[in-house]
Chains A and B, each alone.
Chain A
Amino acid sequence: MKIILHIIKKEFLQFKRDPKMLVMVIFAPVIQLIFLGYAATFDVNIVHTAVFDMDRSSGSRAFVEQFEKSGYFSIDYYIHDYEELNTLVNHAKVIVGIVIPRNFEKDMYSGKKPVVQAIFDGSDGNTASIAAGYVQSIFTSYAGEIMQEMISNKGQFVLPAGTLEPETRVWYNPELKTRKFMVPGIVGLLLMLITLILTSLAIVKEKEIGTFEQLIVTPIKPYQLIIGKLVPFTIVGLLATVVVLTAMQVIFNIPVRGSTSFLFVATTIYVLSLLGLGLFVSTISKTQQQAMMLAIFAIMLPMVYLSGFAFPIENMPKSIQYVTYLIPLRYFITIIRGIILKGIGFSQLWVETTVLLLMGIAILLLSSLRFKRKLD
């Protein structure tokens, strides 16, 4: 027991002597949180558009106006041939080109059903489909208006039939602010970065500078060294957690709907499992460089992509979905989004919380076993 205390004291003394690291580890995440939190949005707010109007009638102009009025479309170019559209799309200057055929107005009112082309830059599938959705809405409401006009001109008034209308209610995130969804995920990512950076180098550094030899010659037992190294990092990790969670609430105005204390406990468990992972990497690497590359490629990158942070796990092939069960961040994201956005608590999240806890314990045990008091 006392030995562990001595190790903890040594680690803190070493922290004290390298304040640069400490400052970076606590403040860099906050700064990153700010940039990334504001950047992470799927909302397509502005669709750069080109219009190729071959009709130039009041009817076609009225149609084009619908796009402008919607607020989503920014008509940047009026073009005169397909070549121009080609260039604009190639240079990524517009996402969609609206092509209105000749005799548009005439054909429309005489029942000849003119077809308007909406040509999208399909390379960004996501944006293209969202933009296509907008176009479809505008088209549908415009078509409805014209139909109404034509019918009243013919002397009939309202269609003798009813309309099917979907009434959508979005739960948990009514304004569909991507930010509310992304920022908790970014919090999880940043915590991961910090803890991994700290711990993956923890033991390897001593190996590289040679103090490791000196350590393993003493009566220190493996579990004592691991706990002794973990405690200071846990404390630093928790400090970072508090700072980042506070920043999230204050800067992004994302209130925690559920229990704050449960959030804190869950985050602590998450941080512990990460510390375990980092330590494990540290025990299997011979040099700091190896530890870093391993940490980045085998842990950080998979966490970014496979945790459900930005890419929905439901969309992944089944085989990869199984792999995501191994990723601590996956569970943490469910927990933190649940608490913040849904306001649910332990009773609904007990599965994820328990899994995280078990993962943390398992990894720490594994690190203990790997760590022999031997060189090799």
Chain B
Amino acid sequence: MYSIEVKNLTKKFGAFTSVNDVSFAVKKGEIFGFLGANGAGKSTTIKMLCGILEPTSGDALVGGHSIVSAPDKVKLNIGYMSQRFSLYDDLAVGENIDFFGGVYGLEGATFKERKNWVLEISNLKGKEKLLTGSLPGGVKQRLALGTAVIHRPSIVFLDEPTSGVDPLSRRNFWELIHELSSGGTTVFVTTHYLEEAEFCNNIILINAGKLIAEGDSKTLKSKYLDGSIYEIECSDPVKAMEILNHSKYINDTSIFGNKIHISVSKNFSDENLLRTDLQSQNIRIESIAPITPTLEDVFIHLLEKGA
């Protein structure tokens, strides 16, 4: 069944449309990834779904309640972790947990148990007196997550939870998310790290307020890319890109570090054509090889197609 159903959700700020007629649905217990570049409308969407920002038009059912007519009921069933982790920096770890736990009405043995859980998952057992502001990013992040779900909501919204956190911590964090999800919690995550999307059960891609793609990782790659992706390492990537962009058999090119990814059309499989094209312009080729497409490839393809 669906935890979240979004119907034609739109948000305008004056003349600027931040979220443009977006519709999708999230299954119960899913890890749902909401991907897009910065400014694409992700945070705005999440805030609307949490009932703290009023949509200009459209509606959504979160946990069965409408965000337009019953936002208060929506809030009772959800947890939210905002982009800035939003804990009180001038409170100690324990004090923050006590506050949010208290505000969600937890007390007695239940509260003690949950508090312990939060401390454990963030590795802060015994460190309750530490000032929250002094914690390193990765630790604070887990603490924020724990505090956000301390009341065991059925749905959890995480807005860019891994921004500015080191890769190891990010990996640990996603393990936590998996734990939550296997426990039956629906997890709705926004991120601009496309490789994290691989961890999600279902993904939507959003750009400039519009939904441009939907599906799981595999589906996205197969649906939107008709041909294969090649990775080329050469002596002058920029010039190479210029040249390749003119070719008929190449759909799009993009730079990845000092390598180039090219998306070729369906029927193409002749590497040597690539070699000759480039070598004739005096570009030395280190390697050419087909690779497994990443979501980034998909995304870029979709963006360029849109443009």
The answer to A–B direct touch (Cβ < 8 A) is yes
Residue numbers of A with Cβ under 8 A of B are: 2-3, 5-7, 9-10, 13-14, 17-18, 209-211, 213-214, 216-220, 373-376
Tell me whether A217 and B52 are in contact in the complex, defined as CB-CB below 8 angstroms, given that A10-B95, A210-B82, A211-B86 are known contacts.
Answer: yes
Tell me whether A210 and B50 are in contact in the complex, defined as CB-CB below 8 angstroms, given that A9-B99, A10-B99 are known contacts.
Answer: no
| Partner-binding segment picked from B72-80, B174-182, B250-258, B289-297 | B72-80
Tell me whether A375 and B53 are in contact in the complex, defined as CB-CB below 8 angstroms, given that A10-B88, A214-B86 are known contacts.
Answer: yes
Chain A nearest CB, measured from B183 CB (Å): 21
B87 at the interface (CB under 8 A from A): yes
Q: Given contacts A5-B102, A13-B92, A214-B86, list 10 more A-B pairs with CB under 8 A.
A: A6-B98, A7-B99, A13-B91, A14-B91, A210-B82, A213-B80, A213-B86, A216-B52, A219-B103, A219-B104
C-alpha gap A6/B104 in the complex (Å): 10
Most central of A10, A14, A209, A214 by chain B CB within 10 Å: A214
List chain B residues, Cβ under 8 A from A209.
84, 86, 89
Whether B104 pairs with A218 at a CB distance below 8 angstroms is yes
C-alpha gap A17/B84 in the complex (Å): 21
A-B contact pairs, 12 of them (CB 8 A): A2-B105, A3-B103, A9-B102, A10-B88, A14-B90, A213-B47, A213-B52, A213-B82, A214-B82, A216-B52, A217-B52, A374-B71
C-alpha gap A352/B53 in the complex (Å): 42
Whether B91 pairs with A10 at a CB distance below 8 angstroms is yes
B100 at the interface (CB under 8 A from A): yes
C-alpha gap A219/B90 in the complex (Å): 23
Whether B102 pairs with A3 at a CB distance below 8 angstroms is yes
C-alpha gap A367/B105 in the complex (Å): 25
List chain A residues, Cβ under 8 A from B47.
213, 375
C-alpha gap A214/B157 in the complex (Å): 12
List chain A residues, Cβ under 8 A from B86.
209-211, 213-214
Chain A nearest CB, measured from B188 CB (Å): 13
**A15: nearest chain-B partner, CB-CB:** B90
Chain A nearest CB, measured from B209 CB (Å): 18
Whether B84 pairs with A218 at a CB distance below 8 angstroms is no
Residue numbers of B with Cβ under 8 A of A are: 47, 50-54, 71-72, 75-76, 78, 80, 82-84, 86-92, 95, 98-100, 102-105, 107, 131
**A10: nearest chain-B partner, CB-CB:** B99
List chain B residues, Cβ under 8 A from A5.
102
**A225: nearest chain-B partner, CB-CB:** B103
Whether A17 pairs with B90 at a CB distance below 8 angstroms is yes
Contact for A210 among B83, B99, B102, B104, CB less than 8 A: B83
How many pairs of residues, A versus B, come closer than 8 Å at their CB atoms?
83
C-alpha gap A7/B104 in the complex (Å): 12
Whether B75 pairs with A217 at a CB distance below 8 angstroms is yes
List chain B residues, Cβ under 8 A from A374.
52-54, 71
C-alpha gap A216/B78 in the complex (Å): 12
List chain A residues, Cβ under 8 A from B107.
2
C-alpha gap A376/B98 in the complex (Å): 29
Q: Please list the 9 inter-chain residue pairs (A to B) with the smallest Cβ-Cβ separation, ordered nearest first.
A: A6-B102, A210-B84, A214-B86, A217-B80, A17-B90, A213-B82, A10-B99, A210-B86, A218-B103
**A218: nearest chain-B partner, CB-CB:** B103
Contact for B80 among A6, A9, A17, A214, CB less than 8 A: A214
**B43: nearest chain-A partner, CB-CB:** A213
List chain B residues, Cβ under 8 A from A219.
72, 75-76, 103-105
**B84: nearest chain-A partner, CB-CB:** A210
Chain B nearest CB, measured from A275 CB (Å): 22
Contact for A18 among B90, B92, B99, CB less than 8 A: B90
Whether A6 pairs with B78 at a CB distance below 8 angstroms is no
List chain B residues, Cβ under 8 A from A13.
90-92, 95
List chain A residues, Cβ under 8 A from B52.
213, 216-217, 373-375
**B96: nearest chain-A partner, CB-CB:** A10
Whether B75 pairs with A6 at a CB distance below 8 angstroms is no
Chain B nearest CB, measured from A202 CB (Å): 14
Contact for B88 among A3, A14, A373, CB less than 8 A: A14
Whether A211 pairs with B105 at a CB distance below 8 angstroms is no
List chain A residues, Cβ under 8 A from B103.
3, 6-7, 218-220
List chain A residues, Cβ under 8 A from B88.
10, 14, 211
Chain B nearest CB, measured from A201 CB (Å): 14
C-alpha gap A220/B95 in the complex (Å): 17
Tell me whether A218 and B75 are in contact in the complex, defined as CB-CB below 8 angstroms, given that A374-B53, A374-B54 are known contacts.
Answer: yes
**B13: nearest chain-A partner, CB-CB:** A376
List chain B residues, Cβ under 8 A from A220.
103
Whether B102 pairs with A2 at a CB distance below 8 angstroms is yes
**A220: nearest chain-B partner, CB-CB:** B103
Whether B99 pairs with A6 at a CB distance below 8 angstroms is yes
List chain A residues, Cβ under 8 A from B51.
217, 373
C-alpha gap A2/B107 in the complex (Å): 10
List chain A residues, Cβ under 8 A from B90.
13-14, 17-18
List chain B residues, Cβ under 8 A from A373.
51-52, 71-72, 75
